[in-house]
Chain A
Amino acid sequence: MDYILNGFVEAFRLIFAFDRDVFSAVFISLQVSLIAIVLSAVISLPLGFIIATRSFAGKRLTITILNTLMAVPTVVVGLIVYTFISRQGPFGMLNLLFTPTAMIIGQFLLAMPILTALTISAVHAVDERIAPTALTLGANNRQLAYAVFLEARFGLLASVISGFGRIIGEVGAAMMLGGNIRGVTRTMSTAIALQTSMGEFELGIALGIILLLVAFLINVLFHYFQQR
């Protein structure tokens, strides 16, 4: 049992000593996942809003497919993107495989259905009296949409946070598309997987603690905004 305790002691030492491997993984993780989540939000929030507020043929099917995609295994997304960007794939000439860009593409695709589906629920959860209220107070169509959007803001923030939670800790796509190259594409989660398989727990535990800390901070921030 000693190795667990020693693992924790060593982990804290690594964190407080600002170990290069630890913080390079943290930095790459945050960089890749933040870019992926921002790109995904830029597309998914308006998309989800449009799906939620318009009626069109196949709307229910679209929502069902999005809900299914929320649970798509990360390795499947990894596999699909891999086939497209590997040397023989249609985008092979872009040399994207084993780069942070490839990981961003994978995580973007993982986050998009989550953000879109949760945006749809967040917009549906807005009191149905909000739209006529905005209209009767003189809102034009753009102002009407904005009023509904503002009313849904906590739900939208929650969707972004859920999406971020899914991609910051995922291993499948990051490992397959990034290749776990030290200092370049090694993220917190891929580092943990590698170190654990090598029987070295210290770095893994240190990164695990930081991952939990990131999740904790995000939730604190979320609650702060919700209180306002």
Chain B
Amino acid sequence: MTKSVIKIENIKKNYDKRVILEIPHLEFESGMIYALVGPNGAGKTTLLRILNLLEQSDEGEMYFDGQQIKPTDFLSMRRQMTLVMQNAVLFRTSVFNNVAYGLKVRSSDEKMIHSSVLSALDLVGLTGFEHRKAKQLSAGEAQRVALARALVLQPKFLLLDEPTANVDKRNVSVIESVLRKVNSEFRTTIVFTTHDLSQAYRMTDKIISLLDGKIMDGGSENTLYGDFDKDDNQQSFINVIPTVRMMVEDYKADSSGIYVDLKDVNISFKPQSSNELNCLEGHVTSITMVNGMIRLTINVGIEMSALIKPEVFQEIAPNIFNQSVYAVFKVSDVYVF
């Protein structure tokens, strides 16, 4: 059985009398990579800050390696993990001192600090940068220094808030490969938030989808695998099963599947024909309430899900089971991974 590094139970966080995070149960298993996805304001950053003990939840318990965390343990627990913040800020000193900071506060041996810092800089591709001033780096370099500053600590649990936002393409792939490397070499458990669903699918074992502070079960819904090809008009598509074909914007030789956000799927009673829309005929098989939204499951040959607003649902509800429906979504909303 894999061990959970961090487990949270019945966490609730309020802000201005509004519940911004409510998670009955969440576990992060040792050596896995998790992606936290969800729109702005879904509570991703708040969850990371609670996991890193920078903020405390108003209710609930947290467990680290099976032990419940008490306020007196905060420092020692925090020293086994670290959070790389979005647009991380560097200390106004040299790159070396920035990366060495966490080791210095742990009173590590000077020699060990020196070699660890240099190898951490190596790891993120910033060899020879140790004497540079932190404030003179580009955004991408600064983000990599922040990453090195976290990695040098060899944390058990590494949290990253949008590690590749505001970073150019070349730096994105550097950061992604570094994360994969530390995950496989040190069995570091990694949790990162991202807006880029294709990155989430590329990188992770499990996607946790947050909406309005709640975890949406079925983060893997609308994740479909199939074969990619191009038709005579050079339009790319994926064949999920022989009868289900969806248009996609583009794919790569090693692409294996697609993902469509539940909120991007619309329901229509009439077929819609456009080069920019996928329109799949099927019938509704189930209706559930999720966090104040309505989730419809539609069998179009395979099961697809749509998340719609209650107002929209009210309009279509009377006819929903006795006729065909069409799951309609934009080609540009299909994430290829």
Contacts and interface: CB of A to CB of B under 8 A. Distances in A.
Are the chains A and B members of one assembly? Answer: yes
Interface of A: 127, 129-130, 132-140, 143, 147, 150-151, 153
Nearest to B104: A143
B88 interface: yes
Contacts of A147: 91, 101
A74 to B, nearest CB: 35
A225 B180 CA distance: 41
Given A132-B85, A138-B78, 6 more contacts: A134-B101, A134-B105, A137-B102, A138-B82, A150-B93, A151-B92
B52 interface: yes
Contact of A137 (B49, B92, B93, B105): B105
A135 B159 CA distance: 14
B52 A138 contact: no
Given A129-B85, A133-B85, A143-B105, A138 B153 contact: yes
B149 interface: yes
Contact of B82 (A136, A143, A153): A136
A140 B75 contact: yes
A136 B52 contact: yes
A127 B89 CA distance: 8
Interface residues of B, number: 21
A143 B105 CA distance: 7
B83 interface: yes
A121 to B, nearest CB: 17
Contacts of A127: 89
B278 to A, nearest CB: 42
Contacts of A133: 85, 88-89, 91
B149 A135 contact: no
Contacts of A129: 85, 88-89
B54 A137 contact: no
12 contacts: A129-B89, A130-B91, A132-B85, A137-B102, A137-B150, A138-B79, A138-B82, A138-B153, A139-B105, A147-B101, A150-B91, A150-B92
A191 to B, nearest CB: 41
B106 interface: yes
B108 to A, nearest CB: 10
Nearest to A131: B54
B91 A140 contact: no
Interface in B80-113: 82-83, 85, 88-89, 91-93, 101-102, 105-106
B82 A132 contact: no
Interface of B: 49, 52, 54, 75, 78-79, 82-83, 85, 88-89, 91-93, 101-102, 105-106, 149-150, 153
B144 to A, nearest CB: 15
Contacts of B153: 137-138
Contacts of B89: 127, 129-130, 133
A180 to B, nearest CB: 44
Contact of B149 (A130, A137, A140, A143): A137
Nearest to A147: B91
Nearest to B99: A137
A138 B105 contact: yes
A132 B150 CA distance: 13
A150 B93 CA distance: 9
Nearest to A140: B75
Contacts of A143: 105
A134 B49 CA distance: 13
A134 B92 CA distance: 13
B103 to A, nearest CB: 9
Contacts of A130: 89, 91
Given A130-B91, A147-B91, A137 B101 contact: yes
Contacts of B83: 132, 136
A15 B280 CA distance: 94
Contacts of A150: 91-93
Contacts of B75: 138, 140
Contacts of B49: 132
A129 B83 CA distance: 12
Contacts of B105: 134, 137-140, 143
Contacts of B92: 150-151, 153
Contacts of A139: 105
A117 B226 CA distance: 66
Contact of A138 (B54, B85, B91, B106): B106
B274 to A, nearest CB: 45
A153 B102 CA distance: 20
A2 to B, nearest CB: 53
Nearest to B81: A136
- Pairs A-B, 10 closest by C-beta atoms: A137-B102, A129-B89, A138-B79, A136-B83, A143-B105, A139-B105, A127-B89, A138-B105, A138-B102, A136-B82
Contacts of B82: 136-138
Contacts of A140: 75, 105
A133 B89 CA distance: 8
A136 B54 CA distance: 7
Contact of A135 (B54, B88, B106): B54
A210 B106 CA distance: 49
A151 B75 CA distance: 22
Contacts of A132: 49, 54, 83, 85
